[in-house]
Structure 1
Amino acid sequence: MRKLSAITLALGAALFAGAAYAQSIECGSDTLCNVKASGVIKIGTKDDYKPWSYRASDGSFKGMEVDIGNKIAEALGVKAEFVKVTSANRFEFLAQGQIDLMIASASDTAERRKVVAFIHPNYYSSGYTALLPAAVTATEWTQLSGQTLCAVQGAWYNKPAQETFGVNVLAFAGSAETEAAMEQGRCVGLLEDDNKINVRLTDPKWAAYKAPLSVEAVTPWGMAVRQADQFAPLGYFVAGMVAEMHRDGSLLALEEANGIKNSAFLLKMHEALKDHVK
C-alpha cells in the first residue's frame, strides 16, 4: 500500500508538472497568462521601509505597498508572493524575471524607464530632504555644502543632492545601516524621502531630530513591470487597478490604515478621478 501511495503521488506530481509545462508553452511570454496558470504573482518589495513595506515580527511582509500588492493579487484570483528587493537591485530583479511586478517606493524617472516600464497612473509621490539632529543649525541646503549625509544605495536623489547642493553622500544597503552610521557620527544627518522623514518624526525615538530644509524634486512613485509587459495584459491590468484605487479612495484608506497622514498627491488624484455627481 505504501508503495502504491508513493507511485500515485509521483504520478500526480508528474501530471501536474506536465500540465504546468504545457500551460507555460501555451502562454509563451505573456506574463499575466503565466501568473494565472501558476496561481502566484511574484511582487518585489522592500523589507525595511516602514510603514510602506517592512517585515513584521513573524517574518511576514507588511505595509501599505504590501496591502496594494495583495489587492492586485486578489483581483487576479491568485496568491501574492512577496520577494525582498532593495533600492540597488529592484530593477535588476524585475528585468531578469525574478519578480513579475515591483512595488518598492521607486520614483518614476526617464532614466529608469530605459530599464523597466512604469505603470501609469503613478500610485504615490515624494521628494527628498534631510533629517538632522536638533543641534544642527542649518536651515538652508547651502549650509550643508561639503558635509556628509547618509543615504540608501540606489536612491534616485543621491546624485541630484550631491550635484545641486554639494553635499557628500555616504550610501549603505538599507535604512538600518544609515541610522547606525549617523549614530556613529559618520554623517551629519539622513538624506531620505520626505514621506519617510515625516513618519520618523511622529515616533518619540526621533524627538531630538528635525527636518528644517526644503523638500526638493517632488517625483511620483511607480509600480513597474518588464518593458515587454507595458502594453500587454499585465501592464494594462495593473494600470486599471491603480486608476480604480485612486477613483474609489482605496489608496487613501490604505494610507490611513498604515498610520500615514493622507498625502497631497493621493488627495489630488482621488479628486481628479472620483465619481462626480452633477
Structure 2
Amino acid sequence: MLGLAGLLALATGTTTAGGPLRVGVEGAYPPFSWKEADGTLKGFDIDMAMEVCKRLNRECVLVEQEWDGMIPALLAKKFDTIIASMSITEERKKKIDFTIKYYNTPAKLVAKKNAGFDGTASGLKGKRLGVQRATTHQCSAEKLYPGAELVLYGTQEEVWQDLSAGRLDAQLSDSLQAYEGFLALDAGKDFDFLGDAIDDIECQGVGAGFAVRKEDSTLRDALSQTILDIRADGSYKAMNDQYFAVDIYGN
C-alpha cells in the first residue's frame, strides 16, 4: 500500500516533474514582457515563468501568443498555462481557472499634460480613448466612459504610438505599465496620468494570476504554491526590484 508521500507523488507528478511546461506569453507588454532585437523574451512575467518552471522541475517552453487569442489558445491546448499579466475576473473564470494573484496594480488614464478635460465620463465624452482589445481596460472603458469614442488595438505598444502621434486624446491601461513603459520614457515626457485610479473590481478583477484550464486543478494548485514559495524566500522581491521601484504585489 502506498504511503502518504507516494500518494502525493502520484497526485502531483504530472505538474512537478516530467515533460515541458508550455507557458503562453505575449512579448509585447513591457516591462512585464517584451522581445529584444535578437528575439529573446524579457520582463517580469518571463522571469516569473522561468522561476516557476525551475521550482517544478520542468523545462520551460515559452509560447508567444497575441493577447486577444490567449484564452482560445489555452483552451485549444496550445500551452498549459498563461503567465501574461492576465487579471483574475469573474467573466474570465466562466471559461478558465486561475492561481492566486502574483501582483495587483490599478488601472489609470493617461493624456497630454494640461489636456483641458478631466478623467470623468463627461470629461471624456466625444474624446478618442484608446485601449488594448480584449482586456479588462476595454471592459472598464465601455462601462465607465460610454460617451467616449473607443479605439481598440491589438497591443499596448500600438496604443502608446497613437497617443504620442496625437491620434488619441487619452488611453486606459495598467498604471505601472503606463509609467514604466511610457511616462518614464522620452516618448511620454509630455503626458501624465489623468484622474484617480480606476475603481472597478467587476472589470479589473482582484489582481493578475496564472491562467489554466478548468480541468487542470492539480497544476493550478502547484502553481499557486510556487507563487507562495517565491514570495516567502525573497525571490519575488529580487525580481520585483529588477523592474519596479515599488512593491507590485499589492494588498
TM-score, structure 2 normalization: 0.85
The answer as to whether partners of 1:246 and 1:266 remain within 8 angstroms in 2 is: no
The answer as to whether partners of 1:31 and 1:229 remain within 8 angstroms in 2 is: no
The answer as to whether partners of 1:107 and 1:156 remain within 8 angstroms in 2 is: yes
Deviation at 1:86, TM superposition (A): 2.8
Structure (1/2) with the larger helix percentage: 1
Q: Residue 153 of structure 2 aligns to which amino acid in structure 1?
A: F
Q: Where do residues 1-278 of structure 1 align in structure 2 (5 Å cutoff)?
A: 33=14, 36-38=17-19, 40-120=20-100, 122-142=101-121, 143-166=123-146, 167-199=148-180, 200-216=182-198, 217=200, 219-230=206-217, 232=218, 234-258=219-243, 260-263=244-247, 266=249, 268=251
The answer as to whether partners of 2:105 and 2:250 remain within 8 angstroms in 1 is: no
Q: Distance in 2 between matches of 1:35 and 1:248?
A: 19
1:206-237 Cα deviation digits (max 9, x unpaired): 1111002111136411111111112x2x1221
Q: Residue 233 of structure 2 aligns to which amino acid in structure 1?
A: D
The answer as to whether partners of 1:252 and 1:266 remain within 8 angstroms in 2 is: no
**SS in structure 2 of the partner of residue 123 of structure 1:** strand
5+ residue gaps in structure 1? 1-29, 269-278
Deviation at 1:251, TM superposition (A): 2.0
- Relative to structure 1, the CA distance from residue 239 to residue 226 in structure 2 (aligned partners, 3 Å threshold; closer, same or farther) is same
**SS in structure 2 of the partner of residue 198 of structure 1:** helix
Q: Residue 245 of structure 1 aligns to which amino acid in structure 2?
A: I
1:163-194 Cα deviation digits (max 9, x unpaired): 22322321111123223333443321222111
- Relative to structure 1, the CA distance from residue 250 to residue 59 in structure 2 (aligned partners, 3 Å threshold; closer, same or farther) is same
Q: Distance in 2 between matches of 1:202 and 1:56?
A: 19
**Aligned Cα RMSD in Å?**
2.1
Q: Distance in 2 between matches of 1:174 and 1:31?
A: 36
**SS in structure 2 of the partner of residue 190 of structure 1:** strand
Deviation at 1:59, TM superposition (A): 0.4
Identity %: 19
Q: Distance in 2 between matches of 1:50 and 1:135?
A: 26
1:63-119 Cα deviation digits (max 9, x unpaired): 011111101111122221111123311111111110111111111000100111100
Q: Distance in 2 between matches of 1:125 and 1:201?
A: 19
Query: Which one has the largest radius of gyration?
Result: 1
- 2:8 equivalent in structure 1: none
Q: Residue 104 of structure 1 aligns to which amino acid in structure 2?
A: A
Deviation at 1:240, TM superposition (A): 0.5
Q: How many residue pairs get matched?
A: 233
**Greater Cα shift, 41-50 or 125-134:** 125-134
Q: Distance in 2 between matches of 1:208 and 1:190?
A: 14
Deviation at 1:58, TM superposition (A): 1.6
